[in-house]
Structure 1
Amino acid sequence: MTSRLTTVAAALCLTSATVALLPAPSSAATGPDRETVAEGGHTARISRTEYGIPHILARDFDGLGYGYGYAFAQDNACGLADQVVTLRGERSRFFGPDGEQGKGSNLASDTYYKGQLRAGTVQQLLNRKAPLGPTAELRRMVEGYAAGYNRYLRDTGVGKLPDPRCKGKPWARPITPLDLWSVVYDVNGVTGVTPLAPDIGNAKPPTPGVDDPMTSGTSNGKSTTATKATAAASVAPSRPGPKAAGVGSNGWALGRDATRSGNAMVLANPHLPWTRGNLRFYQVQLTIPGTLNVSGAGLYGTPLIQIGHNRNLAWTHTASDAQHASLYALKLVPGDPTSYVFDGKAEQMRRQTVPVTVRDSHGKLSSVNRTLYTSRFGPVLSSNWTAKTAYTIRDANADNLRSMNTWLAMGKAQNLSQLRAAQDTYQGIPWTYTLAADTSGGTYFTDSSVVPHLTDEQLRRCASPDGEERSAALDGSTSACVWGSDSDALVPGVYGPSNQPKLSREDYVANSNNGPHYTNPEAPLTGFPGTYDSDPRLGQRAQLGLRMIDQRADGTDGLGAPGFTGATLRASMLGNRVLSAETGRDDVVGMCRAHPRMTTTDGKEVDVRQACTILARWDTRADTGSRGAALWAAFLDRLLRSGGPDTWHRVPYDPAEPLTTPRGIKGDDARVQRALADTVQDFAARGLPADTRLGAVQKWAGIPLPGCTGRRGCFNIVDAGPGSGSGTPPAGAFGTSFLMAVELTPSGPRAHTLLTYGQSANPASPHYSDQTRLFTRKRWVTERFTAAEIASDPTLRVTTLHR
């Protein structure tokens, strides 16, 4: 054992000499913990530590990509294969036109993605030189990644893939570098065009007098009500752009003044879907001696780490509150629903015919011609397309492949100054804030994401006045509402670094998807364009996060002496506090003690005394074993659905107290009493005891989950049902995904991580839910970053690849 560990440690030594220590293509490794795959050319070594976490070591970017692609395919070949089917516009070919959502959702999606391919959208961006196009290093890495993935597929054989979801399936095929760049492009559009792909693919002009909702009550075969509902779901209620597509996060960067040791710390806590391929994280360490050594997590199919650290710098991201796309209302030419007026002149929409291959219920293939419509702003949507108005979307990330350049440069950066330079040079962060710290003990926050250049005056003047849903759209009939530009912006139409919100501190910067203003309440950010921050109010989760930091500063959180340590940072993250309960539970208990019998919405009287006792005994935490957390969650959800939270809060929102209002619950409000009565009635009807443990109704693959939603006031976000992670396909969950708590010490980073759903999306894999079991017990994985730490892992398995 000692001899084996010494050999592995030498091979992984993170110095320039490592290149010489990597075996030549003729070398062979032996032993049960070694595997060699030879093909000649570049070399990579995959060292897997506990929980299947791969550490990739290579001489160059070709080899690094090769090793990364191979390792990822070992765990998630089917996940990436499925993504590629979508991005090639072939879901209808393999799975039929309807898809999981029904009503032709596959056909609509294929129309959009096939149109992207035929238009050469991604290829045209690849043809650009850096910084607008990918750097040479990244091009080589992506080529290597595709080759590594394909090598695994070839060596294993599609018929012997370990994941039953694609084992032996014709859609499990080799991939190309273009496929991977398409993954990157699609991820960049997550808060813009990507979630609207089916809406774009289904766009069809109304037939006057037949399916015009203004005359007949239907649109494109849908009722006006249904169409308006679709439009409302597609856009934000008061801002010119689409809603974020189910993304969120908490992020803290703690400086020397906030920690007991004086070392900076970073907490990463992204909230993403657990079953959506392009938004699932994969944990990895990527090392080219003397060039790159970064550890963290990257989204499926992307060739780099998006959240992570190196020896001297750590960073995380949270979803930005800024808009990254704009919805425009087009004033159509009378009698021609495919022409619109711009600056007083008629313009014809561009049409693109897209052939889509469709499999019918008998397996027969046929080709269907579909049409995409595009305006000067971007693709036209199906929602609310009438004889008078159509809606189109302009996405600021429509020309962005620069994100990978930015993340690679950030991974190489060794301090905050270099991180800022990386972001300013490539300007490719698509839709997130950045929170970072380095070994100097300083911290940094910025929204360097790609944000449309819309002035506050434009936002006021250009808002379309034609109804509630349409208030989220800008006036598309005039050049006065077109995006402007900054002189320091790398591409036209967006804000440059000089206008981006930024804050450097020695205590902390924090964000929970709120706007930049309260990044640190001691130094509120002001003076940035309004499109970066739509609402100064803080949600419950953001308030709780700031409260947790403040209470740790003075030691009033029950975790010991003031100041953060690695242990108290981790304990704060998984403390499972529920702010709505901390500020409102006693109000509800007082109410139900005063009114032991209450009336439900349907007029029945129920006894709430048992529920009242349970809530009174509850510790207000969302732990898996908490009795009362499930009851509170169901009650609060009903109350939130009743509308007007400021009317049932005991203390309504007060701009003078933004960190602590609204709070409390009015016990004498009829809606509050009905919500509790209805919850008690519902639990009884479902056979659920009122003291049901939270973990009994919130699970992943049968494993109890802690946490709750941000609307309920949880910091540790989890939204799951009792069957999540089970079945085929597994039921979905959302929330805390990749956790990283890292301290940047003078002797190197000390990090703990947790990938809540494991390294593999294959339910048959041992790494499908192994880390979920840690999550439920509030345990973390101690990261292995150095050669010695990796070599000392008793579960270590090494695969040497020769390409």
Structure 2
Amino acid sequence: MAASTYVPAHVQHHGAVAAPDGRYAADIRRTEYGIPHILAKDHGSLGYGYGYAFAQDNLCVMASWAITLRGERSRYFGPEAMSDDPARPAPNLVSDVYYKSIHASGVLRRVLAGTAPHGPSKELRALVDGYVAGYNRYLGDTGVDRLPDPTCRGKDWVGPITATDVWMNLLDLGQLAGSSQFKEAIVGAEEGDEQERGPAPGSNGWALGREATRSGHGMLLADPHFPWNGIRRFYQVQLTIPGVLDVSGGSLYGTPLVQIGHNASLAWTHTVSHAQRFTLFKLDLVKGDRTSYLVDGRAEPMGRQEVTVTTRDSVVTRTLYTSRYGPVLAEGWSDESAFALADVNAANLRFADEWLAMAAARDVAGLREAQETYQGMPFVYTLATDVAGTAYFADASAVPHVTDAQAERCVKQTMGEAYVLDGSTSACLWGSDPDAVEPGIFGPARQPRMIRADYVANANASPWLTNPEAPLSDYPRIYGNVRKQLDLRTRVGLDMIDANRPFTLEKLQSTATGKRNLSAEIARADLMALCRAEPVLTASDGRRVKVRPACKVLARWDAHARLDSEGAVLWREFFTGLDRPSPEGEPQPNIWWRVKFDPERPLTTPRGLDRNQPVVSLALADAVQFFQDNRIPYTLTPAQAQRYGSVPLPGCTEGEGCFDRVRMRGPLGADGRYPEVDTGSSFMMAVELTPRGPRGRTVLTYSLSANPASPHHADQTVLFSRGQWVTERFTEAEIKADPRLTTTTLRG
């Protein structure tokens, strides 16, 4: 049977979908750090309990995001203020026009009209409806004027949410690596508006098989690097319907599903995939008609959308255009040509049912079958392991079906890594595979996959070196490169696995939070030699700088980014300063390495510093000069320089080769402080799967609640700062054994 109609028996959802009497019933049990464990008799009730619990902790974030998804930010916050999109904020007017256009397109209505696997299953629909009802129950019981979070207490933009808001949030999540990046390009920006790029999602993920663990059972490390503020934060939750579903892990705000987690015998995580999520099509316009384009020599008129947005003071109407490929970009449009965006996730909600089916799978085989049924992962790799110690990796995500041969024929140019295809011929439309659930995507047989008994790992690199002992290369180029230089975070992660296996759960925890800085390990010796040879260097402004005192601090530094690592920040300012344009303004990446990249030795090259490159001396002189001019001690530590709220944080940046990275939106200030950390390790989970049940350790780096008045606003952040973890409570006995257990019983 075709994949589009066949749902394997063991990945079908079983059990009651909604209560027979139409009433919801759920228990919210909260253990230490406020972590909720939702117990319910059916999917609708499970969503009800989850929506209520989430609203208790984070109602203001969802209330604001609902206004965004409806295209109403200009009405409440003004058209020029920036939206609350943590990954790709835009002026409110641009954001409103963009989301109004999605509503007007009818895409959500069409997807919801479908049946599984193309449209949502009845279980997922019940979860969403229950989630909405639970959220609104809490808001109704509490009242807008009595909300505990001062962020939105008494605000006129706070109100009940609808199922459409939740479905739109899921649809927008799927487009995070596609259409959502093009808001201003689609709408057209006013002169002077520049879209601000938020923190880029990333992740580390390890799935350890029986040959890489001391116990011979599977272990998993999840370390997603998502924004620390806004709707793309993770919420920690356990969702249980006895005999049907029992899953614990990280759930992105506003979704009634666990995206990264485990059940009794299976654990999985995701990292952001290297594959392209969209292509652009270059349109050849009809001479004298800027709104018609040629396909196979025939003129096709563009579709036209009139989008109206209400602002505080007026009503604004914008005209958008569409093509057979997708929306036409307002940017880059001339009398001769224009560009259209084709997003593989433009109408994809399959991933939501896929996560639900994965949560119910018992082993890697069941997870794999769930992925082959729905084929909906939007932009992530999957890494998984089970109690038998089978390690699994796949880019099972939706990828535009552009073969290498088609790329050779049809790619007119590239924008970054994205293909720009020839839109003037139907021969360049996306293809399809017989095992694909929908046309236009690659089927499972073409996806990069690996099953191992030792391990699979990824840190947002291509699939190539998922396991260096068995490189992957037989996949279309649109999935990612091969034999290309690895980033330092990928290298340090693979080295950490090699140096520490076989793992125990405790060793897995300590390894993940070890705070190694790979750039220092492979380059500091050459910098010290430069310091000895030239104790006075010339900075970019021509001033002479004595660097020897700073170099003495770097020589004593422990080459880690712990809270008290003296010299860690000085190294960062030096090393990140190497990445600068030439005097002519041209990029010059990697010129400072002494040993250049060798594809035959990808795990050990490049390395060392080429002291003959002027950029090395300039970077050191400029960093030391900045510290001297601002009277910042060379011994400045991460604890002194970087914080989240009032909590000092360890860690360093991805560019330095740090595993559990942190990122700040802005440079080091004259006061020796960075702007607040805005992304990095977010929901960390180390779990060992044993025949007696899972042993889990977790830490939610920014804590459970965005409400600054909540006792769970920063309690886990303090743990993360200290390198500590929460011992997970998964079984009924573990939950009931918590002396701080509280239970809220909901009926409605």
Q: 1:702 to 1:372 in 2, by over 3 A?
A: same
> Which residue of structure 2 aligns with residue 247 of structure 1?
201
Q: Is the 8 A contact 1:544 1:715 kept in 2?
A: yes
Q: Is the 8 A contact 1:696 1:722 kept in 2?
A: no
Q: Is the 8 A contact 1:325 1:395 kept in 2?
A: yes
Residue type at the aligned position of 1:801:
L
From 500, 524, 539, give the equivalent of 2:447: 500
Residue type at the aligned position of 1:377:
Y
- With 759-768 and 331-340 compared, the bigger mean Cα shift is at 331-340
CA distance in 1, matches of 2:612, 2:575: 16
Q: Is the 8 A contact 1:62 1:140 kept in 2?
A: yes
> Which residue of structure 1 aligns with residue 280 of structure 2?
327
Q: What aligned pairs does 1:625-636 form with structure 2 within 5 A after superposition?
A: 625-636=564-575
From 681, 685, 695, give the equivalent of 2:625: 681
Residue type at the aligned position of 2:475:
F
Q: Is the 8 A contact 1:75 1:759 kept in 2?
A: yes
CA distance in 2, matches of 1:342, 1:732: 48
CA distance in 2, matches of 1:104, 1:497: 36
Question: Any idea what SS the aligned residue of 2:211 has?
Answer: coil
Q: 1:407 to 1:476 in 2, by over 3 A?
A: same
Q: 1:354: how far off?
A: 1.0
Answer yes or no: is 1:602 the counterpart of 2:549: no
Q: Is the 8 A contact 1:463 1:471 kept in 2?
A: no
From 53, 62, 67, give the equivalent of 2:44: 62
> Which residue of structure 2 aligns with residue 14 of structure 1?
none
Deviations 1:386-433 (A, max 9, x none): 222222211111121111110000000001111011001111111100
CA distance in 1, matches of 2:677, 2:655: 19
Q: Is the 8 A contact 1:112 1:372 kept in 2?
A: no
Q: 1:687: how far off?
A: 2.8
Answer yes or no: is 1:367 the counterpart of 2:315: yes
Answer yes or no: is 1:44 the counterpart of 2:30: no
Unaligned residue ranges in structure 1 (runs of 5+): 1-17, 26-38, 204-219, 235-243, 361-365, 554-562, 725-729
Residue type at the aligned position of 1:761:
A
Deviations 1:712-731 (A, max 9, x none): 1111110136999xxxxx95
CA distance in 1, matches of 2:705, 2:288: 54
CA distance in 2, matches of 1:134, 1:444: 26
Answer yes or no: is 1:410 the counterpart of 2:364: no
From 734, 743, 746, give the equivalent of 1:798: 743
Q: 1:535: how far off?
A: 5.0
CA distance in 1, matches of 2:331, 2:638: 39
Q: What aligned pairs does 1:367-446 form with structure 2 within 5 A after superposition?
A: 367-446=315-394
> Which residue of structure 2 aligns with residue 122 of structure 1?
108
CA distance in 1, matches of 2:36, 2:264: 18
Residue type at the aligned position of 1:123:
R
Answer yes or no: is 1:616 the counterpart of 2:555: yes
Q: Is the 8 A contact 1:195 1:245 kept in 2?
A: no
> Which residue of structure 1 aligns with residue 731 of structure 2?
786
Q: Is the 8 A contact 1:257 1:507 kept in 2?
A: yes
Answer yes or no: is 1:475 the counterpart of 2:419: no
CA distance in 2, matches of 1:104, 1:733: 17
CA distance in 2, matches of 1:100, 1:740: 33
Answer yes or no: is 1:485 the counterpart of 2:439: no
Q: Is the 8 A contact 1:639 1:672 kept in 2?
A: yes
Question: Any idea what SS the aligned residue of 1:678 has?
Answer: helix
Q: What aligned pairs does 1:549-568 form with structure 2 within 5 A after superposition?
A: 549-553=497-501, 563-568=502-507
CA distance in 2, matches of 1:469, 1:258: 37
Residue type at the aligned position of 1:700:
Y
Question: Any idea what SS the aligned residue of 1:167 has?
Answer: coil
Deviations 1:60-80 (A, max 9, x none): 001100000000000000111
Deviations 1:261-318 (A, max 9, x none): 11210000001111131x1100000000000000001110011000000000000000
> Which residue of structure 2 aligns with residue 88 of structure 1?
70
Answer yes or no: is 1:774 the counterpart of 2:719: yes
> Which residue of structure 2 aligns with residue 339 of structure 1?
292
Question: Any idea what SS the aligned residue of 2:469 has?
Answer: coil
Q: 1:599 to 1:77 in 2, by over 3 A?
A: same
Q: Is the 8 A contact 1:40 1:802 kept in 2?
A: no
So what's the TM-score if we normalise by structure 1?
Answer: 0.86
Q: Is the 8 A contact 2:387 2:689 kept in 1?
A: yes
Residue type at the aligned position of 2:24:
H
CA distance in 2, matches of 1:379, 1:785: 46
> Which residue of structure 2 aligns with residue 304 of structure 1?
257
Q: 1:442 to 1:104 in 2, by over 3 A?
A: closer
From 570, 574, 587, give the equivalent of 2:509: 570
CA distance in 1, matches of 2:651, 2:272: 20
CA distance in 1, matches of 2:680, 2:43: 33
> Which residue of structure 1 aligns with residue 494 of structure 2?
546
Q: 1:628 to 1:104 in 2, by over 3 A?
A: closer
Q: 1:687 to 1:460 in 2, by over 3 A?
A: farther
Answer yes or no: is 1:281 the counterpart of 2:234: yes
Deviations 1:163-195 (A, max 9, x none): 111111111110111110110000000000012
Q: Is the 8 A contact 2:83 2:95 kept in 1?
A: no
Q: Is the 8 A contact 2:68 2:83 kept in 1?
A: no
Q: 1:721 to 1:433 in 2, by over 3 A?
A: closer
Q: Percent identity?
A: 53
CA distance in 1, matches of 2:96, 2:237: 32
Answer yes or no: is 1:316 the counterpart of 2:269: yes
CA distance in 2, matches of 1:489, 1:245: 33
Residue type at the aligned position of 2:23:
G
> Which residue of structure 1 aligns with residue 56 of structure 2?
74
Q: 1:593: how far off?
A: 1.7
Q: Is the 8 A contact 1:319 1:513 kept in 2?
A: yes
> Which residue of structure 2 aligns with residue 141 of structure 1?
127
> Which residue of structure 1 aligns with residue 224 of structure 2?
270
Q: Is the 8 A contact 2:74 2:92 kept in 1?
A: yes
From 201, 212, 226, give the equivalent of 1:258: 212
Q: 1:111: how far off?
A: 0.6
> Which residue of structure 2 aligns with residue 458 of structure 1?
406
Q: Is the 8 A contact 2:61 2:230 kept in 1?
A: no
Residue type at the aligned position of 1:764:
A
Q: Is the 8 A contact 2:278 2:418 kept in 1?
A: no
CA distance in 1, matches of 2:483, 2:745: 53
CA distance in 1, matches of 2:55, 2:571: 42
CA distance in 2, matches of 1:471, 1:76: 36
CA distance in 2, matches of 1:666, 1:795: 57
- With 749-758 and 648-657 compared, the bigger mean Cα shift is at 648-657
Q: 1:486 to 1:162 in 2, by over 3 A?
A: same
Deviations 1:614-645 (A, max 9, x none): 11001110112111110111111110234434
Q: 1:535 to 1:191 in 2, by over 3 A?
A: farther
> Which residue of structure 1 aligns with residue 471 of structure 2?
524
Q: 1:521 to 1:535 in 2, by over 3 A?
A: closer
Q: 1:330: how far off?
A: 1.7
- With 328-337 and 312-321 compared, the bigger mean Cα shift is at 328-337
From 688, 694, 697, give the equivalent of 1:752: 697
> Which runs of 4 or more aligned residues in structure 1 lie more than 6 Å from their structure 2 counterparts after TM superposition?
101-104, 467-471, 721-724
CA distance in 1, matches of 2:383, 2:543: 51
- With 49-58 and 157-166 compared, the bigger mean Cα shift is at 157-166
CA distance in 2, matches of 1:640, 1:406: 41
Q: 1:676 to 1:377 in 2, by over 3 A?
A: same
So what's the TM-score if we normalise by structure 2?
Answer: 0.92
CA distance in 2, matches of 1:83, 1:221: 26
Unaligned residue ranges in structure 2 (runs of 5+): 1-14, 582-586, 669-674
> Which residue of structure 1 aligns with residue 672 of structure 2?
none
CA distance in 2, matches of 1:734, 1:529: 31
Answer yes or no: is 1:646 the counterpart of 2:590: yes
How many matched pairs?
A: 716
Residue type at the aligned position of 2:309:
V
Q: 1:461: how far off?
A: 2.8
> Which residue of structure 2 aligns with residue 559 of structure 1?
none
Q: Is the 8 A contact 2:306 2:317 kept in 1?
A: yes
Q: 1:802 to 1:368 in 2, by over 3 A?
A: same
